Amino acid sequence: VTATGTGVDSGPALEGIGRSLLDQDPSTVAPLLLNTLLLHGRRVARIVEVEAYHGSLDPASHAYRGQTRRNTTMFGPSGYLYVYFTYGMHWCANVVCGPVGQAGAVLLRAGFPVAGSDEMWAARPSARRERDLCSGPAKLCQAMGLDGTFDGADLVAGDRGVRLCTDGTPPPPRVGNGPRIGISAASERPWRWWVEGDPNVSVRRSAGRR
DNA sequence: CTTTGGATCGTCT
DNA sequence: GACGATCCAAAGG
C-alpha cells in the first residue's frame, strides 16, 4: 500500500482494514469506518460520513426486494465495493458487509482530501472550495475516480487499485448519529453516522424533501 | 446564507 | 413507464 509523494507515506504506516472487521452487521461496521482512508492511486480521502443499509429488513435498501443484476455485489462477501448509478448521472460507493448471501453495505457519504487533491480538483471542475470535493456520496466517487467499472472491486486485496486503510487515527471523539438522507422509506431509522463538526458532512435539506 | 427546479438514464415492474 | 441512497446553478435575503 503506497501513496507515494502524497504525504501519507511520511506519516504513520497504513494498515489495511481486515475483512473480519467488515464481516459484521452494517450498523456495527458503519461507525467503525469513520476516520478510515479510501485510497485510489495517489488519491486518498478520509471518510467522515457513512450510512448503513441492510437487506430484506430494510425498505430503503437496494437489496430489500432480493437480489437483482444491479445489487449482486451486496449479496457477496464483505470487503467488496458496491457501486451503483443513480439520478441518471451519479455514481455512489458502498463497502459490502456481512456474510455471503446476506445483503448489507455501508454507503460512503463524505470525506475530505488527504492526498492527491490535484487529481480531485481536476475530476471535479465545478468545485469551488476544498469542501466541495468529497462532501457527498457522488462527489466522493467523482473526486476519487470511481464509477461502475469499480463495482465488485476488492477493497481488502486492492485488486483494482482501490483500498480501505487506517493510518492509526483514532475514532472521532464525537460521533453524530441520526436518520439517513435522501430516502423515503424507513427514514426514521438512525443509521447514519458522521464525524461531529466536520465541514464535509452533508446537511439535510432543510424541512422535508428528498 | 437559503430555496428551488432541472438534468438525465439504468433499473425494475 | 416511473423513479431514484444526487448535484448544481440560479435567484432571493
Closest protein residue to B9 (Cα–C1'): A88
Q: A9 pLDDT exceeds 80?
A: no
CA A46 – CA A114 distance, rounded (Å): 6
pLDDT digit string, tens, across residues A122-134: 999 999 999 999 9
Q: A206 pLDDT exceeds 90?
A: no
pLDDT of residue A127: 96
Q: What percent of chain A has pLDDT over 90?
A: 88
CA A74 – CA A97 distance, rounded (Å): 8
A70 touches strand B (CB under 7 A): yes
Q: A10 pLDDT exceeds 70?
A: no
Chain A span 178-207 residues with beta carbon within 7 Å of strand C: 180-184, 202
| Longest alpha-carbon distance in chain A | 46
Mean model confidence pLDDT for chain A: 93
A206 touches strand B (CB under 7 A): yes
Query: Which nucleotides of chain C are near protein (any atom < 7 Å from a CB)?
Result: 4-9
**CA A166 – C1' C4 distance (Å)?**
33
**CA A203 – C1' B3 distance (Å)?**
14
**CA A68 – C1' B11 distance (Å)?**
9
A205 touches strand B (CB under 7 A): yes
Q: What is the DSSP string of chain A?
A: ---TTSSGGGSSPPEEPPHHHHSS-HHHHHHHTTT-EEEETTEEEEEEEEEEE-STT-TTSTTTT---STTGGGGS-TTBEEEEEETTTEEEEEEE-SSTTS--EEEEEEEEEEE-HHHHHHH-TT--SGGGSSSSHHHHHHHHT--GGGTT-BTTTTTTSEEEEE-SPPPPSSEEEE--SS-SSSTTS--EEEETT-TTS--PPSSS--
CA A92 – CA A158 distance, rounded (Å): 18
pTM, whole model, 2 decimals? 0.94
pLDDT of residue A8: 55
Q: What are A169's three cell numbers?
A: 487515527
